[in-house]
Structure 1
Amino acid sequence: MKTVLKLEEFAQFALSIVLFSQLPYAWWWFPALILLPDISMVGYFINPRIGAIGYNLGHHKGIALLVGTIGLLTQQPILMLAGIILFGHASMDRMMGYGLKYSDSFKHTHLGFVGNHAK
């Protein structure tokens, strides 16, 4: 099942690249920005609860879709870009096993524990 989920996330990441290619930005903006959503982890310097809230907001695909859709409806390429980057980043993270966080530990995610390779 984990392989199927990772393939699904890969497909969503690929979709983010396709959507990005429709925007009026040079290709290098995608790799330059794809890790930017990880700034949402800064709350972990305060405590795991605040860190999880920030991380989950920055990695929630629903928020990414909302931002991108608002950009599409208002014809604002910068918002479309933000939504696509957020969506692509969340897919990339989940493809690598990083899920939305529980408030007790950075390693405790909705996909299991990060680094736990048990099948």
Structure 2
Amino acid sequence: MTDRLPRSLLHIEGAVVAVAAVALYFHLGYAWWLLLLLALAPDLSMVGYAAGTAVGAVAYDIAHTYAIPVALALVGVFADTDLAVQIALIWGAHIGVDRAIGYGLKYPTGFQDTHLQRV
């Protein structure tokens, strides 16, 4: 049981981030259609796998780390740019959903090898 706790906490953390990002998105009155349009946009990074598993893993991981959307959200807040905040919240929600369902950051050994589990 305790050997599964870190992985379970990462899944719960992802779900909480996804719910918080979507709740904040709608609380701020942003358009639902943009959320639908961009919800899967970070997955375009999988195109990197066409250049091999190592390049694909790097491309996927860059697009699926919280660091970039959080930085974008900060820029959006401080620059008073709603579009940056919207994109950041959508991006963060996408990553959160991925983590909640078990898709983690990738290892260069293959798409199925993640920091959460083997998919």
TM-score (norm 1): 0.87
Please provide the CA RMSD for this pair.
1.4
1:23–1:77: 8 Å Cα contact kept in structure 2?
A: no
Quick one: percent identity of the two aligned structures?
Answer: 33
Write 1 or 2 for the structure with the bigger share of helix.
Answer: 2
Instruction: Find the aligned partners of 2:95 and 2:43 in 1 and give their Cα distance.
Output: 10
Which has the larger displacement, 99-108 or 15-24? 15-24
Higher relative contact order (CA 8 A, sep 6+): 2
Q: Indicate which of 93, 112, 119 corresponds to 2:117.
A: 112
1:36 is matched with 41
1:71–1:77: 8 Å Cα contact kept in structure 2?
A: yes
Write out aligned runs for 1:49-60 (5 A).
49-60=54-65
Deviation at 1:6, TM superposition (A): 2.2
The residue identity in structure 2 corresponding to 1:42 is V
**Structure 1: gaps (5+ residues):** 115-119
**1:7 aligned to 2:12?**
yes
- Between the two proteins, the alignment pairs up a number of residues equal to 114
**Structure 2: gaps (5+ residues):** none
TM-score (norm 2): 0.87
